[in-house]
Structure 1
Amino acid sequence: MEPPPERPWDSPSVADTAAEFLSLIGLKELEGCLFAERLAVVAVGASPRDKAQGQWWMAAQWAPYQQEGAPMQSCILVQTRFRSKHNGVPVSSSLKAYLTWQLETLEQEEQECLELTPHPTEKRTHFVSHEYGMTVTRTLQEGGAEPQCHSFSYGRARLRARLLEGASLLLLRVLARRQTMPPGLVFPAINSEGDLCTFSYSTLGIQRQAVGSAETEVFVIRRAVRASTGAPSVWHSSFLPSGHLAQLMQIGAPVLMLLQDESILSKSGRFAPQLPFPKEPLEWDEDMELYSYFLDRKVRWTWGQGDLGLCQSPARSPLVCPGDTQRGQGTNILPHTLSSVGKDPGSCPPHPGIVSMGEMCVCAHPTHPVHPTAGGAATLPCCLPPAAP
């Protein structure tokens, strides 16, 4: 008999890739994702300025955490709350998760309430991590009946790089602030029912979206939750550059969550321009064409210095003559150096026709061309032999 096909949520390769990705998330990067935000709940298809039917709230912050018999530790507390109406019936949900900064879930509790009179329904799912793995407890209470509880556990080996809902929400902020993600990003996960599944993330790019009466650019991420049974649940999350949500929508749901506070836009910054191709570092010394161009310019410069005969003595300074050394055009440097102010003119290199004129030595050869200086106050000759006729 052939072995059963490997399920993606149990695949070692998926866990290895996910663990490597999580290990690259830095503590400083996570700290930029610790803030609170609030969205309005509106009906799908409604105007962004329509009256809200409810609210969705999320906050992430550092908090102390301690299990019984264990020392206290600092972790990240992620909380969400949702309240709205469905067909006139009040509905609410909440999430409270304690995470390590590697996004490992220490404890999480999710609650859903349907306030249907006279039989309200409440469902809770509690996750707690321990040295042997993780225990999941599901509780369902309908009206005044006794609550129904069901518990089961997962071994430590099956929890490697596995995300829960609270960790997934924080990871979305990290991806949004990066404004990029690798293709085919998949994590082993556990859904709100406590079942093994996968969370997959992909980008839908930068889009335009209304926020109140304004319009802005948002970075859209698609998250799909796939379990062994049933259709996948797909969420579209639209983020501002700061990592704040502008819109949160579950495909097929009658409501969505929208940002209506335009004041957030002034603090969110702007997206970096997206290049149509990846930016490559310029290694000019390894590029044959660029390196050849560099050598050619270097040789020209070296020859030019030699032809002009620059003096290397630190006690002398070259004089710039606004005339070509051969044709009397352009700007060049005299092939001799002049003595500094107060120096002995005899210290100039021997040259027929060089005489002293006060503070400097100039050429007095009658056949050499003479050119005006840049200031126009004196004349300076070119001291090379005149051009051949």
Structure 2
Amino acid sequence: MKEPLRMEAALDDQTAVGYLAGTEGAEQELEASDAAVSFLSSIEPAELQKCVFADSLVTVSEGGRDLGEFNAAVEFAHRGQPCMMLHAQSQGAIDDCPCGTTVTVYLTTDLEVLEEDHHEYVKLKGHSVDKRCHMVQREGQMVIRKVTTVGEEVTEESISYPMSVLRGLVTEGSSLLLMRLMALRKKVPENMTFVSLDQGLHIIHTSFRELDQKQLEVGAELLEVFGVERIIHSVEGSPSTWQCYYLDDGHLASRVQVGSPVTMRLLELPSKTEKVDFKKIPLVWEEDMQMRSKFLDRKEELKADHSSYLRKHPEIRALVSDFLQLLLLRKPDDVFLFTRQYFTSFVSRCPPEPNPEAQSL
């Protein structure tokens, strides 16, 4: 395998401006619109509760041939703080070449990205293409690492953006939950422009708009569906456009990239009795301020109590000190046997306990 090619960059607030549009010396920083930022800040916990469910679609060609499947699920999680987790996966084959995409993202309740892992691959005849991108918030920065493997050639890219220039960031993972929220509200406000990252890790604009309602056949029923369009801009190429349609309850009914012969669609209506499997979130007490405070208080209370007892019984320290000194001098192979024999000798020094049966005679 060839040696990896590497490109590393760290951007502060000032130098980032020149990189935001993919060219040095750019005069205007790309920003999310006020409407987009306002939408994120308006999200209520009750709305997120309604988003906790799974979608499952099939991927079909224009001729109706089954090519694969698409799944997306949202659940509550914990990543240093209570948050939302979305996991989506698309897999199948195009022209008999296996391909797939997997994304897992952890989000705050206002959809700020805490961490995301994005993986996509295509297994072509003769060689494969594999792309992995991982981003994580760390000390006020969004640290991003991308590894691209084409055949045997590996390219690594690393970059770090200040969170101040990523206000209103929408990623592949967070966009799925964002559109689910829009569908539940049955409204996409005007001028919904967010910032995102393209394949070259440049900051770009991503915009959303409401589509005209239409009827879609799901199973044996013809239903009214709500549409949301996402336009992903790019510095290095043409924009890509995705159109998604949703049922009244927020379930995804159709998903397609404009210009692609492949469509993802819902075959059957979700069960009305569908139950959400709420996984138990592990308790990380060290990161819970209230529980950590109680732990520290209790710890100090026990230390004070133990210290007080040792002061009242100085013979404990002398006893333990003598035992350790003898143990280190003898260095017995069986420490447990030695310890039992050592402390058994003190039993004979203790006065016999009164016999209750003898006292009753």
Q: Shorter-normalised TM-score: what interval?
A: 0.5 to 0.7
TM-fit CA distance, 1:104: 0.6
Q: How does 1:305-344 map to 2 (within 5 A)?
A: none
Query: Unpaired segments of 5 or more residues in structure 2?
Result: 1-24, 275-361
Query: Deviations for 1:194-214, whole angstroms, at most 9, x for unmatched residues?
Result: 321112111112211111332
Corresponding position of 2:55: 37
Name which of 73, 76, 91 aligns with 1:59: 73
Corresponding position of 1:75: 83
Query: Deviations for 1:33-67, whole angstroms, at most 9, x for unmatched residues?
Result: 111110000013x4xxx4522000001101122xx
Name which of 238, 241, 262 aligns with 2:245: 238
Cα distance 1:17–1:216, how it changes in 2: closer, same or farther (>3 A)?
closer
Name which of 104, 108, 119 aligns with 1:100: 108
Checking the alignment, whether the CA contact within 8 Å between 1:33 and 1:60 is kept in structure 2 is yes
TM-fit CA distance, 1:15: 4.5
Query: Unpaired segments of 5 or more residues in structure 1?
Result: 66-71, 269-389
| Cα separation, 2, equivalents of 1:171 and 1:134 | 20
Name which of 95, 101, 112 aligns with 1:87: 95
Partner amino acid for 1:126? H
Q: Show structure 1 runs of 4+ deviating over 4 A.
A: none
Corresponding position of 1:203: 210
TM-score normalized by the length of structure 1: 0.60
TM-fit CA distance, 1:193: 4.7
Structure 2 residue 183 is the aligned partner of structure 1 residue 176:
yes
| Cα separation, 2, equivalents of 1:267 and 1:197 | 41
| Cα separation, 2, equivalents of 1:241 and 1:192 | 33
Checking the alignment, whether the CA contact within 8 Å between 1:15 and 1:162 is kept in structure 2 is no
Cα distance 1:195–1:208, how it changes in 2: closer, same or farther (>3 A)?
same
Corresponding position of 1:142: 150
| Cα separation, 2, equivalents of 1:157 and 1:15 | 14
| Cα separation, 1, equivalents of 2:111 and 2:269 | 31
| Cα separation, 1, equivalents of 2:196 and 2:150 | 28
| Cα separation, 2, equivalents of 1:151 and 1:262 | 43
The CA RMSD over aligned residues, in Å, is: 2.1
| Cα separation, 1, equivalents of 2:95 and 2:46 | 44
TM-fit CA distance, 1:158: 0.4
Higher helix residue share: 2
Percent sequence identity over aligned pairs: 30
Corresponding position of 1:6: 28
| Cα separation, 2, equivalents of 1:26 and 1:123 | 35
Query: Deviations for 1:324-375, whole angstroms, at most 9, x for unmatched residues?
Result: xxxxxxxxxxxxxxxxxxxxxxxxxxxxxxxxxxxxxxxxxxxxxxxxxxxx
Name which of 236, 247, 260 aligns with 1:253: 260
| Cα separation, 1, equivalents of 2:102 and 2:47 | 26
SS in 2 for 1:53: strand
Checking the alignment, whether the CA contact within 8 Å between 2:180 and 2:250 is kept in structure 1 is yes
SS in 2 for 1:243: coil
- Number of paired residues? 250
| Cα separation, 2, equivalents of 1:132 and 1:4 | 23
Checking the alignment, whether the CA contact within 8 Å between 1:125 and 1:194 is kept in structure 2 is no
Cα distance 1:4–1:99, how it changes in 2: closer, same or farther (>3 A)?
closer
| Cα separation, 2, equivalents of 1:226 and 1:88 | 30
Name which of 129, 136, 139 aligns with 1:131: 139
SS in 2 for 1:29: helix
| Cα separation, 2, equivalents of 1:116 and 1:60 | 32
Cα distance 1:33–1:183, how it changes in 2: closer, same or farther (>3 A)?
same
SS in 2 for 1:28: helix
Cα distance 1:16–1:86, how it changes in 2: closer, same or farther (>3 A)?
same
Corresponding position of 1:119: 127
Checking the alignment, whether the CA contact within 8 Å between 1:125 and 1:192 is kept in structure 2 is no
* Greater C-alpha radius of gyration: 1
Corresponding position of 1:110: 118
Partner amino acid for 2:102? S
Corresponding position of 2:234: 227
TM-fit CA distance, 1:96: 0.8
SS in 2 for 1:221: strand
Cα distance 1:20–1:88, how it changes in 2: closer, same or farther (>3 A)?
same
